[in-house]
Amino acid sequence: DTAVSQTPKYLVTQMGNDKSIKCEQNLGHDTMYWYKQDSKKFLKIMFSYNNKELIINETVPNRFSPKSPDKAHLNLHINSLELGDSAVYFCASSQEGSETGANVLTFGAGSRLTVL
Amino acid sequence: GQNIDQPTEMTATEGAIVQINCTYQTSGFNGLFWYQQHAGEAPTFLSYNVLDGLEEKGRFSSFLSRSKGYSYLLLKELQMKDSASYLCALRDSNYQLIWGAGTKLIIKP
């Protein structure tokens, strides 16, 4: 019944490795996102994706690549992991064109990545 | 540029009222959100303001003044479970969310 689910919840890996985080939403939302929350707790958008378009944040290194096999899934692949990639990564989804225009985000539980 | 400021930490007593302020600077505005985030969990939506005034939702209310670049979240009848971080987020002219660092609220018995 989980609305937005992401796996794994915890990921510990060595520098230089490649890893993926998976995300699935069963809300029927059109738009999905990846956010990074660092130790200072700022939430920073990395990518947003709807059926038609992937929007890439220019500040995200190209070692990060989102992959969306369908509108219910948005996975995050990270190549050549660095120490600074350690953070909590949140997947989220939203539905555009809601009645209130609020476009509220529903977040997954987060994936804590630790790079050693 | 865009900037959001909110206090880093606040402490309040169970049963009391607390107001968490958020000030912002932006060239374009399309709404202001408040989210609650318990430690180790995902942020969850609390409120949304796009017009000036107060939006009330149970024990929680949110206020917006666009001319002053100011919002607050008011929590009444505080409960221990309200201990969390409260994130202010601004939606800019490109409909992108800009997040504050959050205010950690500590509730004491």
Residues of chain B in contact with residue A106, where contact means CB-CB under 8 angstroms, are 45
pLDDT band at A98 (very low <50, low <70, confident <90, very high): low
> Between residues 54 and 83 of chain B, which touch chain A (CB distance below 8 Å)?
none
Determine the residue among B37, B46, B51 to mutate to test chain A binding: the one whose Cβ has the most chain A Cβ atoms within 10 Å.
B37
A107–B contact, CB cutoff 8 A: yes
CB-based contact (8 Å) between B33 and chain A? yes
Which pLDDT score, from 0 to 100, does residue A54 have? 85
Alpha-carbon Rg for chain B, nearest whole angstrom, is 13
Q: What is the pLDDT of residue A50?
A: 82
Task: Kindly state whether A108 is in contact with chain B, defined as any CB-CB distance less than 8 angstroms.
Answer: yes
Does pLDDT of A71 surpass 90? no
- Tell me the per-residue pLDDT of A16-43, one tens digit each, with 9 for 90 and over: 999 999 999 999 998 999 999 988 778 9
Q: What is the pLDDT of residues B45-57, one digit of tens each?
A: 999 999 999 999 9
Angle at A87 between CA A82 and CA A88, to 5 degrees: 140
Nearest-CA distance A101 → chain B (Å): 9
The pLDDT confidence band at residue A101, using thresholds 50, 70 and 90, is low
Nearest-angstrom CA–CA distance, B60 and A112: 30
Cβ–Cβ gap A109/B99 under 8 Å: no
Q: d(Cα A21, Cα A54) in Å, to the nearest integer? A: 17
pLDDT of residue B2: 75
Distance of CA A43 to the CA centre of its chain: 11
Cα gap A91→A106, rounded to integer Å: 9
DSSP B51: S
E strands along A14-82, which residues?
19-25, 31-37, 43-49, 54-56, 64-70, 73-78
CB atoms B91 and A103 under 8 Å: yes
Q: What average pLDDT does the segment A59-76 reach?
A: 92
A98 against B15, higher pLDDT:
B15
- Of A44, A60, A42, A115, the C-alpha closest to A83 is A115
Mean predicted confidence (pLDDT) in A60-81: 93
**Distance separating alpha carbons of residues A79 and A27, to the nearest angstrom:** 29
Q: What is the pLDDT of residue A52?
A: 67
CB contact under 8 A, A43 and B43: yes
A88 pLDDT tier (thresholds 50, 70, 90): very high
Which of B5, B45, B85 to substitute to test the interface with A, most A CBs within 10 Å? B45
Residues on chain A touching B85 (C-beta within 8 angstroms): 41
What parts of chain B have a pLDDT lower than 50? none
What is the torsional sign of CA B84, A28, B95, B29? negative
Percent of chain A with pLDDT over 70: 92
User: Which token pair is A81?
Assistant: 């992991």
Which of the residues A40, A43, A56, A106 would you substitute to probe the B interface, choosing the one with the greatest number of B C-beta atoms within 10 Å? Answer: A43
- In chain B, what residues touch A103 (CB-CB under 8 Å)? 91, 95
Better-predicted residue by pLDDT, B65 or A53: B65
- Per-residue pLDDT at B93: 84
Distance of CA A6 to the CA centre of its chain: 9
